[in-house]
Structure 1
Amino acid sequence: MADQSFVTLATNDSYVKGALVLGSSLQHYRTTRKLTALITPQVSDPMRKVLERVFDEVILVNILDSGDSAHLALMKRPELGVTLTKLHCWELTQYSKCVFMDADTMVLSNIDELFEREELSAAPDPGWPDCFNSGVFVYRPSIETYNRLLQFATEKGSFDGADQGLLNTFFSSWATTDMSKHLPFIYNLSSTSVYSYLPAFKAFGANTKVVHFLGSTKPWNYTYDSRTKSLKGEMHDPKIVHPEFLNMWWDTYVANVLPLLEQHGIVKENTTGVNMAEVTEAVSHMSVSATAPPPSPPAPVLPTVSSQERKERWEQGQADYMGMDSFDNIKKKLDTYLQ
């Protein structure tokens, strides 16, 4: 239907990879709806061109940041502030109804039946089921609703500093008023927290329609061995009880997304399994003391940065190019890593 669309948001090139996997999975299961991607200025032109190969519309929007560092600090996820940019989805009034899906989701079957639901339909959040998870929701675009949400955000803020807290407070009747707006959990199944109730997953997991890669570590942060078609390393991660979903994401990426990236000269990967995710991982764990030459003159003492913080800064384009992430340091580490 031309007046209905799936909508996602990519705030940087890393999340574009997720959006491309999502779009490819929707196409694979033959959705009859349009595909729309909202992007911010941080998305590069080459990645935007690849998005245009998969999505019917790619729309540039401005970043809306809650600036609510105190609340975000409670979640130790300061990067979530920009997810308020998600509110731009209500501006898509060329459509009568939309289903918003985070870029870290992937469909495992056709889910066009969601367009039969009304605003605001969503699945419960596994962490607090009286709140809905804002990674997948059905809504009706409306400039009036958009303006009300912005005003509400300004006056009331968000209890978690991000879009989920804001939307749950704004659509506060979701928990109690109309159960028809409660989507089954299989429409937004957390790839990690679901395993806290493993018997239910064993009984119902095969019916999963949408998997959601919640948390700060996304599928594109892992390394994939294209020879064995399996995840490489990082399998000690206690959150990965079953890697099937991550393998499915990477299967889709390698089959459908990687060829598009290569066509546009964005990434070059070979069959050895060495890829940019692997390189990023290597650099993020780089020991500066072991690779950096003696400073001359003496360099100022810098605050210690954990490997996770350093990795996140790389993903956000904030590498310390003049210090620990200098070209010489990276080259030495990679030479050691690739030998």
Structure 2
Amino acid sequence: MAPEIVKSTTGNAAAPVVGPSKHAYVTFLAGAGDYVKGVVGLAKGLRKVGTAFPLVVAILADVPVEHRRILVEQGCVLREIEAAFPCADADQNHAYFVEYERMIYMDADVQVFDNIDDLFELPSGYFYGVVDCVCEMSGDACPQKLRWPQELGPQPPFYLNGGMFVFEPDLTTYHDLIHTLTITPPTPFAEQDFLNMFFREKMKPISPEYNLLVAMLWRHPEAVGVEKAKVVHYCEAGSKPWRFTGEEENMEREDMKMLVSKWWDIYNDASLDFNVAQRLTKGLPLSREAARQVVVHYRSASSAA
């Protein structure tokens, strides 16, 4: 039996933020590689769809100053975190942002094409995500062919993709999560296996349109139509827009080329660059956290000159 999909009962857009936000989007960045382009694209995509909430970027200490400057200038709120081992991805640190009541995590290779602020209004107390297919773990396996690792305990009723999820930061949950992490053996699919195990009693599925994995286009085309996708996850090998060549398997597809082109349209749109004065003048959503961070950044730069 297919899991019951939880649907939002509110409209897409939320009212502009006029004080400290209780909600936020969050992504993760490490190192000096090119994933900073993905974060910039995500920030501009959220701005294009008119979100009322900030984008927090959890960064490791190895993110260079230049990349931090780029993100601040795009209105991102930067939070330096420490890696939680044995999972080098450090996704678990997101639960430490307890000043927010609810956050939506998205990988840096995700793009938003429609407003999804309504997800912040889902019933509290649950961990929400989109049901994944384990095809991506083995290339051709289906759920009935790939067994859940016994060392993780009882199998969840369904398996959520870890590239986008809705959660509620809580210190008690954070400490419990870190403890569980230290006693859990490594698994084939890293943090995604772990999150499914840890939150299996609280997981609720949401519509596939909130996280369309590009591989679904050829593995499960019936799952969701491209035209309905609010969020697209460029997680397949060769699909990262900023590295795209079209030479890898399945990348020659017209629907893939179209999605990559849509990502670049947003990334290259200078009108979507963060500008405090313009957004205030036009009455557009602006998080106080993002505006304050830009001011602090430039004051610090000026005083150091």
TM > 0.5 fold call: yes
Q: How does 1:1-339 map to 2 (within 5 A)?
A: 1=17, 2-12=21-31, 13-66=33-86, 81-83=87-89, 85-117=90-122, 118=124, 119-127=126-134, 128=143, 130-160=158-188, 162-173=190-201, 181-201=204-224, 204-217=225-238, 218-222=240-244, 233-235=245-247, 237-241=249-253, 242=255, 243-256=257-270
Displacement after TM superposition at 1:24 (Å): 0.7
Which structure has more helix as a fraction of its residues?
Answer: 1
SS of the residue aligned with 2:158?
A: strand
Residues 44 and 273, structure 2, Cα contact 8 Å, conserved in 1: no
Structure 1 consecutive aligned stretches of length 4 or more whose deviation exceeds 4 Å: 256-260
Task: Sort the Cα spacing of 1:64 and 1:99 in 2 relative to 1 into closer, same or farther, 3 A.
Answer: same
Residues 95 and 169, structure 2, Cα contact 8 Å, conserved in 1: yes
Displacement after TM superposition at 1:104 (Å): 0.7
SS of the residue aligned with 1:43?
A: coil
Q: Deviations over 1:93-152 (max 9, x none)?
A: 111111111111000100000101243000001224921001111111111111111111
Task: Sort the Cα spacing of 1:110 and 1:44 in 2 relative to 1 into closer, same or farther, 3 A.
Answer: same
Between the aligned residues of both structures, percent identity stands at 26
Displacement after TM superposition at 1:251 (Å): 1.8
Task: Report the AA paired with residue 31 of structure 1.
Answer: T
- Of structures 1 and 2, the one with the larger relative CO (CA 8 A, separation 6+) is 2
SS of the residue aligned with 1:103?
A: coil
CA-based RMSD = 2.3
Aligned residues: 228
Any gaps of 5 or more consecutive residues in structure 2?
A: 1-16, 135-142, 144-156, 275-305
SS of the residue aligned with 2:56?
A: strand
Larger CA deviation: 160-169 vs 43-52: 160-169
Residues 24 and 256, structure 1, Cα contact 8 Å, conserved in 2: no
Task: Report the AA paired with residue 112 of structure 1.
Answer: D
Give the alignment's TM-score, normalised by structure 1. 0.62
Task: Report the AA paired with residue 219 of structure 1.
Answer: P
SS of the residue aligned with 1:147?
A: helix
The CA distance in 1 between the partners of 2:176 and 2:270, in whole Å, is: 39
Residues 37 and 55, structure 1, Cα contact 8 Å, conserved in 2: no
Higher gyration radius (CA): 1
Residues 192 and 240, structure 1, Cα contact 8 Å, conserved in 2: no
The CA distance in 2 between the partners of 1:58 and 1:152, in whole Å, is: 27
Residues 111 and 263, structure 2, Cα contact 8 Å, conserved in 1: yes
SS of the residue aligned with 1:130?
A: coil
The CA distance in 2 between the partners of 1:259 and 1:120, in whole Å, is: 32
Task: Report the AA paired with residue 3 of structure 1.
Answer: K
Task: Report the AA paired with residue 241 of structure 2.
Answer: P
Any gaps of 5 or more consecutive residues in structure 1?
A: 67-80, 176-180, 223-232, 261-339
Larger CA deviation: 122-131 vs 87-96: 122-131
Displacement after TM superposition at 1:170 (Å): 0.4
